[in-house]
Structure 1
Amino acid sequence: MLADDSASLWAALERAGGGRICVIADNAGRELLPDLVLIDHLLDSGPASQVVLYVKPQPYYVSDATMTDVLATLERLRAAPSAHGHAIGRRLHHAMASGAFVVRTHPFFSAPLPFHDIPADLRAELSGATMTILKGDLNYRRLVGDQLWPPTTPFTATTDHFPTSVTALRTLKSDVVTGIDVTTVARLDGTEPAWRTSGRHAVIQVRL
């Protein structure tokens, strides 16, 4: 973990207590499953009164999560042999029925544009959320502008355009990265030249 703002994330959610949290998904399959577990935790433990999960209307890459993937994964959870997995699936099913858990999409999520260019209707949807949590490498690149920033560039400086507080949960698989301290950059550049793309490192970065 090259940057870990998880304490700031949980503190911000606890202060807000019961607001709307948006989650922008990345991949289906084994990545979507923990996304749903996180959403259940946010609803069940109190930080969120509503979670809105945004998926793509159709895959941008073959693995991208869509509405069909969400429904299929929920059914797998409800049918899980473990009591814990079954309970999560049951709670999320009830939350979807009550409106506490909402799944939405928008054509922008399959467009080749940075989040600087969020259209007005989607910006209005996101505005007012306590926090938006973005998953994955591509969403990170779209968030910070997909530019080859010096890696010590503050994450906050590249995300101040976003309409809500924002958290990026990302495994590094591309050269685009911000918010890494100078000592860590020097160490990795000297010992692991491919650290930005190897998939061995991750970040949890928050801009409030």
Structure 2
Amino acid sequence: MAADQIVHGVPPSLSAKVSGSFAYLTVRDRLPTILTRAIDTIHRNKNTFLEQYGEEGIEAEKHAISQLSKLRNELQTDKPILALTDGRQDAESWNHYLQRHVTLHGDEGSVSWFKSPWLYVECYMYRRIQEAVWLSPPISDYDVFNEGKTQSFFQSQSAVMTLCTYLEDIKKKLKDLSQNQLLEHFNKLLQVSLWGNKCDLSVSAGQDNSQITSPLDSLDSLQPFILVDDSNMIWSTLISAQKLALPEKTTAGRVDIILDNAGFELVTDLVFADFLVSAGLAREVHFHGKSLSWFVSDVTVKDFSWTIRQTMAVNHRWMSKSGAQWQNYLKKGTWSYHDHPFWTQPHEFCDMAADAPDLYATLEGSDLVLFKGDLNYRKLTGDREWDHTVGFDTALRGFGPAPLCSLRTLKANVQVGLQPGQGETLSSQDPDWMTTGKYAIIQFYSPKSKQ
């Protein structure tokens, strides 16, 4: 296979080399299982729909289940990928993308579930789930994955309390910290945000994957599993932006965080962002989430707002104080939440400048862009089976609106920027090293114009 060849779909004989096996479910089984869980969730809420909407709610439940069952059959029997019919804002872009593939391969039958790029069909499935709900009024706004996301938050509450307590302790003594001490806390909270990415419900097909223990206690033991650690480059970028800040700015530059999972991981991102602002390492933080329910546990605006409200409401002094502070950041404009249709489309990020120039221009205004999670890494690198020693800059294929970093626990078969022999050693010691979430990276790149 060529170094930059696209990793393709999910044939019945799927090999671990192509898309890997996961701690909970193989890739081949994962998508039908996610669809089955979505169907079950809608059915279990039948009485709720009846109470809210009467018989219309029951008919909507039946229609949504019918649409999702049809989708599951298409997936399992290698049917052609179909155009979207819901008329939503992004449907035209999705259908244009499909047509490009049809034109490339010559006929519609060649663009099917088993024959198309894995990244494309996986994204397409989640978009079709959303279509099934949207075409089933009056339950069109129902989030089939909401239960898992809220459960993840509540089951991780003890860990969240510990994290918020640690944050408040730092903030009390910020003025007395040396730069080395500040760097130590920075590295700890960066790593907490990194390992928070283990809590990914799309990998476990919606099964519980919450954070029970203190995330701070395990950092030393997890250090050997960080395969690429460019933490110092992130620190240097933030310090450089701080020194270059204009006189009218009270602190340094702008940090953008491209979010991944709701639940515990989102809290780790909020805590890290709070630390950056409080320590004067960032003037403002822009959070970027999804405009629709995506990959089971990805953050939407409802998840973002709900998490902050719940944090404020908890009967724990430092956790509730953190929530109140986060709400205040949003009110003052220090923090802001954004979404864009591009994040929920199948495009690789190297296409962003052409297909979403407004979003690319927005990111160009950032001093540092943090991409959380596995899906973002797959889109950064095009989900290609690169040689492990290929440089991160090469795999990005021209994408570089600003200095950027990937914080990711490995759950898919793509990884670049390793040292010679590192991948081979890992493969001999642990054949599934790229897919279990056991290993992680903090991988940085800066375009020359931003250095």
For this structure pair, what is the TM-score category when the shorter chain's length is used for normalisation? over 0.9
On the 8 A contact 1:171/1:203 being kept in 2, the answer is: yes
For 1:15, give the aligned amino acid: S
Counterpart position of 1:143 = 380
- Between stretches 178-187 and 50-59, larger displacement belongs to 178-187
Q: Does 1:161 align with 2:399?
A: yes
Looking at secondary structure, tell me which structure has more helix per residue: 2
Tell me the CA shift for residue 112 of structure 1.
0.9
On the 8 A contact 1:20/1:48 being kept in 2, the answer is: yes
Tell me the CA shift for residue 15 of structure 1.
1.5
What is the percent sequence identity of the aligned residues? Answer: 36
Q: Does 1:7 align with 2:232?
A: yes
Counterpart position of 1:23 = 257
Q: Using the alignment, how far apart are the partners of 1:101 and 1:205 within structure 2?
A: 24
Mapping of residues 102-117 of structure 1, within 5 Å: 102-117=336-351
On the 8 A contact 1:54/1:104 being kept in 2, the answer is: yes
Q: Using the alignment, how far apart are the partners of 2:444 and 2:230 within structure 1?
A: 6
Counterpart position of 2:273 = 39
Per-residue CA distance 1:93-145 (angstroms, 9 max, x = gap): 11101111000000001101111111101011111210100000000010111
Q: Using the alignment, how far apart are the partners of 2:293 and 2:435 within structure 1?
A: 22
Number of residues paired by the alignment?
208
Q: Using the alignment, how far apart are the partners of 1:82 and 1:170 within structure 2?
A: 30
For 2:424, give the aligned amino acid: A
Q: Does 1:72 align with 2:338?
A: no
User: Superposition RMSD on alpha carbons, in Å?
Assistant: 1.2
For 1:57, give the aligned amino acid: S
For 1:108, give the aligned amino acid: F
Q: Using the alignment, how far apart are the partners of 1:134 and 1:94 within structure 2?
A: 24
Q: Does 1:200 align with 2:438?
A: yes
Counterpart position of 1:94 = 328
For 1:128, give the aligned amino acid: G
Tell me the CA shift for residue 79 of structure 1.
2.3
Instruction: Answer with 1 or 2: which has the greater Rg.
Output: 2
**Which of the pair has the greater relative contact order for Cα pairs under 8 Å at 6+ separation?**
1
Counterpart position of 2:414 = 176
Q: Using the alignment, how far apart are the partners of 2:431 and 2:332 within structure 1?
A: 49
Q: Using the alignment, how far apart are the partners of 2:317 and 2:443 within structure 1?
A: 33
> Under a length normalisation based on structure 2, what TM-score does the superposition of the two structures give?
0.45
Of 121, 141, 152 in structure 1, the residue corresponding to residue 389 of structure 2 is: 152
On the 8 A contact 1:115/1:162 being kept in 2, the answer is: no
For 2:228, give the aligned amino acid: A
For 1:142, give the aligned amino acid: K
Q: Using the alignment, how far apart are the partners of 1:108 and 1:50 within structure 2?
A: 23
Counterpart position of 2:296 = 62
Q: Does 1:123 align with 2:348?
A: no
Unpaired runs of 5+ residues, structure 1, are none
Q: Using the alignment, how far apart are the partners of 2:409 and 2:324 within structure 1?
A: 29
On the 8 A contact 1:59/1:110 being kept in 2, the answer is: no
SS at match of 1:76: helix
Unpaired runs of 5+ residues, structure 2, are 1-225, 243-251, 447-451
On the 8 A contact 1:2/1:203 being kept in 2, the answer is: yes
Q: Using the alignment, how far apart are the partners of 2:436 and 2:263 within structure 1?
A: 21
Per-residue CA distance 1:8-61 (angstroms, 9 max, x = gap): 111211121111111000111111111111111111111111110000000221
- Between stretches 179-188 and 81-90, larger displacement belongs to 81-90
SS at match of 2:283: strand
SS at match of 1:200: coil
Q: Using the alignment, how far apart are the partners of 1:72 and 1:94 within structure 2?
A: 15
